[in-house]
Structure 1
Amino acid sequence: MLDFPGYSVSGAVASFFFILLSMRQPDNWRVISSTHPILARIGEDALLTCQLLPKKTAMHMKVTWYRSEPSTPVFASWDGADATEMQMEEYRGRVEFIKDGIHEGNVALKINNIQPSDNGQYWCHFQENNYCGETSLLLKVAGLGSAPYIHMEGPAESGVQLVCTAKGWFPEPQVYWADITGEKLLAVSEHSIQDDNGLFYVETTLVVRNDSVETVSCFIHNPILNEEKISIISIPEKLQNELASLKVIGPSEPILIRVGEDIQLTCYLSPKTNAQSMEVRWVQSHRYPAVYMYADGEHVTEGQMAEYRGRTMLVSDAIDEGRLTLQIHNATTSDNGQYRCLFGKDGVYQEASFDLKIVGLGSSPLITIKEQKDGEIELICSSEGWFPEPHVQWKDMEGKIIPSFSEVLTEGSHGLFHVETSLLVTNSSIVNITCSINNPLLDEEKIATFSLLEPMMSFSWKIVLIWILLLVVPVGLLMRKS
């Protein structure tokens, strides 16, 4: 037997087996669960189960259900007691730990009132002393939303424009158009958005140019449930609608509004028509969510864009003539863009579009000296509160443009721009410098003028003063000593 000083083969073998025993995996049990995804509809309850194999009691084990991090569990049970301190907030009061079969290693987690956010992977984790095991489960959440709603916008010169909308679906549904024979029709645009609850709104547009196409269907299909909803529209019937012969008139020129002012968006029917029984909405790029919606004689708050809640008011004094004005208080840079005003009745809409341009005239520019050496002066011109991006120019006293040395434009938290530009002056013949900042939409500018004589004279007097002090102070000290 080979021996080394202070070390024996028998001792090495004993240590080796001790390490193997301490490192061995818990091959005496493992965790299993369903290999198939668990399907749950929104609003219903879901049951996630897992099992120790071979069967054994888990009463004194730590059982944890988690998603991404074990430290923030969906639910945890330690030695038979619930541990809720680190539980994810969205699951508090919404989950139940079912341990009827815990003596055989069978546990389940019941999630009540399933939401879109519950969709995804879950982990079931067991721990006994230093041994642990886990398995994963996939929860697929699905929900059928509203039936598709088809309305007609037009008719237009290019044909009849049909728009199909639906909301409350999960996951994102498939949308398609078909004619009366079932042949699919090509949409010109598709749009989807998730609301605050995680549910999908879908919108698709179809332009019908063929007069022979009289009936069109819109299908909304849930790929998880393999279920769908359908709506059908008769084009000739909609063309007989009251609104089909009316027009909506809006501003013909872009509306310029300064930041902080109130916005007024007016549109009206031509010829004059009572709009009290109509739906009227102001939207941006898509119908949902809306900037503002009026229906059944009152403001509809559901589906209004969050940034417009509490900022809008409808002026309806002339509604019997088909004229309505939307007021938006305290204009911000985010209000900038294109809007559409839609009048609707019985599935037919007419609209007008217009541009709203938000403008901000910033602070007067401030010119400062950054550095002065070797006969060069660097001037800094700064200003803030501009929208859109301003034009900045340096000019001499004759109005000639001087190229800037650098220019930095930054956007603040409210969307307003801060500008800082620098100019390097090396020509001593330049006396007065002007910094002008211009708003391209308002064609207004703010100007600051800086005279180079003042800093140069100030600099010269400082040198003279230093020399005087250097000469006078020693002379005074000598006189005091004598």
Structure 2
Amino acid sequence: MFCFSGQSQESDLTQTIISMPGDDVVLPCHVDPPQDLSQFTVEWGRPDLKPRFVHVWHNQKEYLADQNKVFKGRTSLFNDKLKDGNFSLKLSDVRHSDNGRYRCYNPKEKTEYFIQLLVDLHHNYRSSASSPAVSLSGLDVSSSGVMLDCSAAGWYPEPEMFWLDGDRNIMSAGPAEKSTDPDGVYTVSSRVTVEKRNNNNFTCRVQQRDVNQSRETHIHVPEDKPTKNIHNVTISHVCKISFFCYCFLLKYMRN
């Protein structure tokens, strides 16, 4: 549990709290030595949000006029504990979007402490995040290269996706496309055009640096690439269509 002190201006440590979606969680914060906080202005905030305010105590009462709307009706203090220096925050009905770094701040003393809330990162989403699915999508006519597609679903928090060549060098593929479902869970996809090389092995990698999670899928493009196959398929389709047209025309002329 973090605590304020008259000498310390800022904590060098961040305490981590792990919660599951739908749970209620307490973010701890208190002063040491104990003092009556009901007479102070004390603020809970999320620096990455606008407005940043999660819950504020001011003029001996809760002040929620500037509260970020995503927390409306879900935050509360232990009012009977304020006189003992306890400014812990209760966050109800935890959501995926609550994942983040929270600041407990006393403006008068200019002291602040941080809590990192991780929502479901070490449970459901570590197991439900899919490995990237890689497929050959066709030919790039302008470069005669082969287009590879990659997609992965069920990732949270936001992942990054990139391609590696056979020597594990990052390839230029442009920014990945990302979308979220109503719970804020990510689906990410990317396309890259590759040229014929001595080693036609490629890797699509998805990773989350903050939680040290990554998955990757490898694909080998044949030496002759799928160019020949794709051309053969196209010619085959043209031949079939021509044959049916010929049969139809012949039947029509006989009638």
Query: What range describes the TM-score normalised by the shorter chain of this pair?
Result: 0.5 to 0.7
After TM superposition, list the pairs within 5 Å mapping 1:57-136 onto structure 2.
57-67=36-46, 73-78=53-58, 82-97=62-77, 102-111=82-91, 112-115=94-97, 119=100, 122-126=102-106, 131-136=108-113
- Pairwise CA distance, 1:39: 7.1
Q: In the aligned structure 2, how far is the partner of 1:81 from the partner of 1:270?
A: 78
The one-letter amino acid paired with 1:148 is P
1:35 counterpart letter in structure 2: L
CA–CA separation in structure 2 for the residues paired with 1:223 and 1:83:
36
Q: Larger % of helix: which?
A: 2
Question: Secondary structure of 2:70's match?
Answer: helix
**Post-superposition shift, 1:146?**
4.0
SS at match of 2:96: coil
Counterpart secondary structure, 1:35: strand
Q: Which amino acid aligns with 2:29?
A: C
**Higher RCO (Cα < 8 Å, 6 or more apart):** 2
Q: Which of 220-229 and 89-98 deviates more?
A: 89-98
Shift of 1:164: 1.9
User: Matches of residues 127-166 of structure 1 in structure 2 within 5 Å?
Assistant: 131-137=108-114, 139=116, 145-154=129-138, 158-166=144-152
Output the amino acid matched with 2:30.
Answer: Q
Tell me the residue number matched to 2:163: 176
Counterpart residue number, 1:330: none
Post-superposition Cα deviations, 1:422-443, rounded to whole Å, max 9, x if no partner, equal xxxxxxxxxxxxxxxxxxxxxx
Contact kept in structure 1, 2:159 and 2:206, CA below 8 Å: no
Partner SS, residue 115 of structure 1 = helix
Larger radius of gyration: 1
Q: TM-score, normalised by structure 2?
A: 0.58
Q: Percent identity?
A: 16
Q: For residue 224 of structure 1, report the CA deviation from its aligned partner.
A: 0.5
| Letter matched to residue 34 of structure 2 | K
- Separation (CA, whole Å) in 2 of partners of 1:198 and 1:192: 16
Distance verdict in 2 for CA 1:147–1:270, change over 3 Å: farther
CA distance in 1, matches of 2:221, 2:209: 29
CA RMSD of aligned residues (A): 4.6
* TM-score where L is the length of structure 1: 0.35
Partners of 2:96 and 2:46 lie apart in 1 by 15
Q: Paired residue for 2:208?
A: 222
Alpha-carbon distance in 2 for matches of 1:113, 1:107: 22
Q: Is the 8 A contact 2:31 2:86 kept in 1?
A: yes
Q: Is contact 2:176–2:188 with CA below 8 Å preserved after alignment? A: yes
2: CA distance, partners of 1:40 / 1:66: 18
Cα 1:119/1:99, change in 2 over 3 Å: same
Residue 360 of structure 1: aligned partner: none
Instruction: In structure 2, list runs of 5 or more residues that go unmatched.
Output: 242-255
Which residue does the alignment assign to 2:35? 56
Cα distance per residue 1:404-447 (max 9 Å; x no partner): xxxxxxxxxxxxxxxxxxxxxxxxxxxxxxxxxxxxxxxxxxxx
Question: Residue 36 of structure 1 aligns with which residue?
Answer: 14
With over 3 angstroms needed to count, the CA separation of the structure-2 counterparts of 1:229 and 1:40, relative to structure 1, is farther
